[in-house]
Amino acid sequence: MRMSQLFTKTTKEATHDAESPNAQLLTRAGFIDQHMAGVYTYLPLGLRVLRNIQEIVREEMNRIGSQEILMPALLSAEPWKQTGRWEDPGPEVMFQFTGAGDRDVGLGWTHEEIVTPLLKKHVHSYQDLPVAVYQIQDKFRNELRAKSGILRGREFNMKDLYSFHATVEDMEAYYDEVLEAYKRIFQRCGINGIPTEASGGSFSRVSHEFQMPTDSGEDLIFVNQSGDYAWNKEIVPDLKDGDPAPDGSGPVKMMKAIEVGNIFKLKEKYTKDFELTFMDEQGQPQPVYMGCYGIGMSRVMGAFVEAHHDEKGMIWSKSLAPYPVHVISLNSKDETMQERIRTTAEGIVDDLASEGIEALWDDRLTVSAGQKFADADLIGDPLRLVISEKTLAEDAVEWKLRNESESRLVKHDRIKEEIESFIKE
Ligand code: ATP
Ligand code: MG
């Protein structure tokens, strides 16, 4: 992608939500644009990050045998009235209105009321179980306070997975599989998502949240000594910083954190409401046990920025970056030199493309070197390559990683190889 063609512009000042780094940096770099509080447009660079997260989640969901579907976002009130959630939490969470023909409708904020009746049409016998389906979709929630940029939106992107089982044991086993899949997802995203015990509300004794420690988080968690397990303060309200962990594993550390995902054992909660049962081998009807599992993809994107930035801008991992490589061609007053710089940069970009590696190329002719460097730091792609009069004299390019301060020269005949090994490592 040539920056001369990119329609979005970087800005020095964020216009809103100044206290939250993710909103500030993502807006300034032209990744997102606020439409109103809690509602954003994803611009080309931001959309690429969101898609990278979605793709990691999709791969890990497919890997544990769940099948992708896409349910509607515009929903009939009927099934919500059946479970009682049309009234409680009702409009406090759900956007509700009257559609054509005086019909009560609402926007999807979660999908148990849609997926359970859907599965009732397909699950009849023990042979139809277990089954797991997921979707990646925008959810709508009438959040009282939409703040902290894309960490808490009124419209936000979520992956929701629902699983259905013949026995409690099978539900528990799948729950553990999802827990492992979530660990892989956050690890691949470069997010420190700590499995955290939570109360799980009224219908599930234990559930897990995945919490990322950050000052902009709204939750308080107690992290164990090895930093790989935590407890939400809500369930252990009497625990204090430095107390022994509930599992006896040593002192805990209290931290502010943001929930990036969670997993619930719903058991018979919704399958009972919709009378979703199956025939066992003896032809007897039996209850179906259910689990539900969410990850906020847009929140993951915001959380990553909260954890990975400096005073100059964002610092993306290769797995999430809009582009792994940011190529800068500096301008020269000398026309012949200018042309040599341009063709060298273009050659590198084309070479990479033929290897399936996409680069963002700052080819702008009217932008100063200082501005190009500032933009590269703000956007935060992991590897920056600079081609200038100076580097051409060395038959090389300047190679610099966003998370390191030193740069070095790499000879032209070594570039392709070095980049390939950088991408693979
Ligand atoms: P929270 O306690 O932060 O409000 P929640 O318990 O309401 O979250 P769920 O209903 O389980 O969350 O949603 C699943 C996931 O969706 C959450 O783990 C989070 O990553 C994401 N999520 C929830 N609400 C929002 C929101 N308003 N904006 C962005 N992401 C959200
Ligand atoms: Mg909520």
Q: Give the pLDDT confidence of 365-406 residue by residue, as tens digits.
A: 999 999 999 999 999 999 999 999 999 999 999 999 999 999
Ligand 1 mean position, distance from CA 51 (Å): 19
pLDDT tier at 222 (50, 70, 90 boundaries)? Answer: very high
- What was the pLDDT predicted at 205? 59
Per-residue pLDDT of 288-333, as tens digits, reads: 999 999 999 999 999 999 999 999 999 999 999 999 999 999 999 9
Mean pLDDT across the chain: 95
For 304, the token pair is 């990553």
Per-residue pLDDT of 331-366, as tens digits, reads: 999 999 999 999 999 999 999 999 999 999 999 999
Residues with CB under 6 A from ligand 1: 110, 141, 143, 152-153, 156, 158, 259-262, 294-296, 298-299
> Which residue is it, tokens 């993809």?
297
Query: Residue 244: pLDDT above 80?
Result: yes
Query: Residue 19: pLDDT above 80?
Result: no
Q: Give 74's DSSP letter.
A: E
- What was the pLDDT predicted at 199? 75
Protein residue with least CA distance to atom 19, ligand 1: 296
Q: List, in order of start, the domains of the chain with CATH numbers.
A: 21-73+108-307 (3.30.930.10), 325-424 (3.40.50.800)
Task: Give the helix ranges, DSSP H, for 147-268.
Answer: 168-189
Looking at the CA of residue 261, tell me the nearest atom of ligand 1: 18
- Pocket perturbation via mutation, ligand 1, pick of 259, 260, 266 by most ligand atoms within 8 A of CB: 259
Q: What is the pairing mode between strands 131-140 and 155-165?
A: antiparallel
Whole-number Å distance between alpha carbons of 419 and 324: 10
Distances (CA, A) of 316 to 151, 320, 419: 17, 6, 17
- Pocket perturbation via mutation, ligand 1, pick of 299, 304, 306 by most ligand atoms within 8 A of CB: 299
Ligand 2 mean position, distance from CA 323 (Å): 32
Ligand 1 mean position, distance from CA 295 (Å): 8
Whole-number Å distance between alpha carbons of 59 and 254: 33
Q: Give 298's DSSP letter.
A: H
Whole-number Å distance between alpha carbons of 176 and 199: 17
pLDDT tier at 18 (50, 70, 90 boundaries)? Answer: low
Protein residue with least CA distance to atom 29, ligand 1: 152
- Out of 56-60, 142-146, 154-158, 327-331, least confident range: 142-146
- Dihedral sign for Cα atoms in the order 90, 94, 98, 102: negative
Query: Is the pTM of the predicted complex or chain greater than 0.95?
Result: yes
Interior angle at CA 48, CA 42 and CA 50, nearest 5: 65
> Which residue is it, tokens 């000052």?
215
Mean pLDDT of 218-222: 96
Query: Residue 202: pLDDT above 80?
Result: no
> Which residue is it, tokens 């969670």?
262
Task: Name, in order, each residue with C-beta under 8 angstroms of 345's C-beta and a sequence gap of 6 or more.
Answer: 327, 328, 329, 361, 363, 387
pLDDT tier at 201 (50, 70, 90 boundaries)? Answer: low
Ligand 1 mean position, distance from CA 424 (Å): 33
Mean pLDDT of 131-151: 94
Protein residue with least CA distance to atom 8, ligand 1: 259
Whole-number Å distance between alpha carbons of 7 and 47: 14
Ligand 1 mean position, distance from CA 92 (Å): 15
Q: Nearest ligand to the C-alpha of residue 146?
A: 1
- What was the pLDDT predicted at 13? 77
Mean pLDDT of 121-144: 98
- What was the pLDDT predicted at 415? 94
